[in-house]
Structure 1
Amino acid sequence: MPDLATSESKTVLTFGYGNRKNYDAFLSCLREFSVTCVVDVRLKPRAWSRMWYGDALQKLCTSENIQYVSKSSLGNLSGSSHWIPPEPEAAKQTLCEVAEMLETGNILLLCAEMDFSRCHRVEVASKLQELTSASVKHLK
């Protein structure tokens, strides 16, 4: 495993879009925290509204000069805040890939649940923090 201690000055942010009807809060967070990459940790990058589909988010992020990646291997099978990845070994590999992304700047983990305390992204962020010593901030 690579030594990723150099990422300690970077931040892993988490954000849940919930029932938001526009991108205002999302864009505000991206800009305020100088996010360089949005990592979609949903099992399937789809939502009740097409605006939160992966393809729409990719276009939005591109327009802001921010990378967007869907990492479904960091999705959750449990249906609760307890993280059960679809394939644990693939999830470990993906965590290493995402940890390396922190070398270029702050990343934002995106999921559907607005209340971070009810979402698996807290566990994903914690695993990234263990790998990199990066700080974690859960956004609302």
Structure 2
Amino acid sequence: MSSPGFTKKKCILTFGYGNRKDYAKFLEYLRNFNVECVVDVRMVPRAWSRKWYGEQIKILCESNNIEYISKTALGNTSGKENWIPLNQEEADQALYEIAQLAQKGNILLLCAEMNPNRCHRKEVAHCLESLASLPVKHLE
């Protein structure tokens, strides 16, 4: 799954829960990559399943000693993979804050779309990669 030593270096991860019925893969990634903070980049942290609501993810993360942050400013108004934030100034501020967090430990950007190539989080991660000078790994 990952190259030896990858989890030892700081990185920016991305994950989309898609239609997953449980947290198994999500928790596996959180543990395997030593994630310290999950950053929810959905404009509205809700899902077809209440399991993936922001408040439920926060409870899950905190029970595993992982910080959860919702950054709705990093959400997407385009409805497609190209990222168009609602307010660019707020998005820029959120990117700066998350880049600072990424310097302290591994972060995971969470969104709904399972395929990173069809999700705006890929563009968000690219911006963070430049700001934080850290590698990005998209998890499926």
Q: Confirm or deny that 1:92 pairs with 2:58.
A: no
Normalized against structure 2, the TM-score is what? 0.93
In structure 1, runs of 5+ residues without a counterpart are 1-8
Alignment of 1:23-102 (within 5 A): 23-102=23-102
Q: For residues 15-53 of structure 1, give each alpha carbon's deviation from its aligned partner in whole angstroms, at most 9, with x where no partner exists.
A: 000000000000000000000000000000000000000
Give the TM-score normalised by structure 1.
0.93
| Equivalent residue letter for 2:136 | V
Between 1 and 2, higher relative CO (CA 8 Å, sep ≥ 6) is seen in 1
Deviation string, structure 1 residues 78-112 (Cα, Å, up to 9, x no partner):
00000000100100010000000012200000000
CA distance in structure 2 between the aligned counterparts of 1:113 and 1:61, rounded to whole angstroms: 20
> Take 1:63 and 1:132, find their aligned partners in 2: how far apart are those partners?
28
What is the total number of aligned residue pairs between the two structures? 132
Q: Distance in 2 between matches of 1:120 and 1:71?
A: 13
% of aligned pairs identical?
59
Partner in structure 1 of residue 125 of structure 2: 125
| RMSD after superposition | 0.6
Aligned partners of 1:103 and 1:114: how far apart in 2? 26
Residue matched to 1:115: 115
Counterpart-to-counterpart distance in 2, 1:104 and 1:130: 16
Aligned partner letter, 1:116: P
